[in-house]
């Protein structure tokens, strides 16, 4: 597994943006003023014709991942988030596999502890 640098900025759609959060997400990524980026987008749309920039904006909104609701604490949090936004079915499959493994381990532990030959007296007297 490649370690992630938590200080590296990633490009996400902002959850608090005006329309899909594309401009705000790009402004945060580029350390640029959100208002300035929106003005640039408006001027570009007026000079290039409205539809090319609107089309590019919609494509960017579909391609950019939404920003995480809470910051990542560990690399595994980010790994799960990336897998979830890329493919929800794969993320759900991964969760199911994790819980199936956990259930199998708990069943094995239960069967071991509840077995007739488990020596409770010896275990209790050891400590």
pLDDT digits (tens, 9 = 90+) for 51-84: 888 899 999 999 888 887 777 778 787 777 777 7
Instruction: Identify the DSSP state of 66.
Output: B
Exposed/middle/buried for 66, CB within 10 Å: 0-12, 13-18, 19+?
A: middle
Domain boundaries, the chain: 9-67, 71-127
Answer yes or no: is pLDDT of 1 > 50. Answer: no
Give residue 120's pLDDT band: very low, low, confident or very high (50, 70, 90).
low
Q: By the 8 A CB rule, do 23 and 32 touch?
A: no
Identify the H or E element spanning 125: helix 120-126
More confident residue, 59 or 121: 59
Q: What is the mean pLDDT of the chain?
A: 81
Which range, of 22-26, 50-54, 89-93, averages the lowest pLDDT? 89-93
């Amino acid at each position: 597994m490649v370690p992630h640098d938590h200080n590296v900025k990633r490009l996400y759609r902002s959850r608090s943006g005006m329309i899909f959060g594309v401009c705000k997400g790009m402004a945060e990524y580029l350390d640029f003023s959100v208002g300035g980026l929106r003005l640039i987008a408006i001027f570009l749309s007026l000079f290039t014709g409205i539809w090319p920039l609107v089309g590019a904006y919609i494509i960017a909104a579909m391609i950019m991942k939404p920003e995480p609701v809470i910051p990542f604490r560990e690399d595994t949090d980010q790994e799960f988030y990336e897998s979830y936004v890329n493919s929800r079915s794969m993320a759900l499959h991964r969760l199911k596999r994790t819980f199936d493994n956990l259930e199998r381990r708990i069943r094995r532990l239960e069967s071991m502890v509840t077995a007739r030959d488990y020596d409770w007296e010896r275990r209790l007297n050891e400590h």
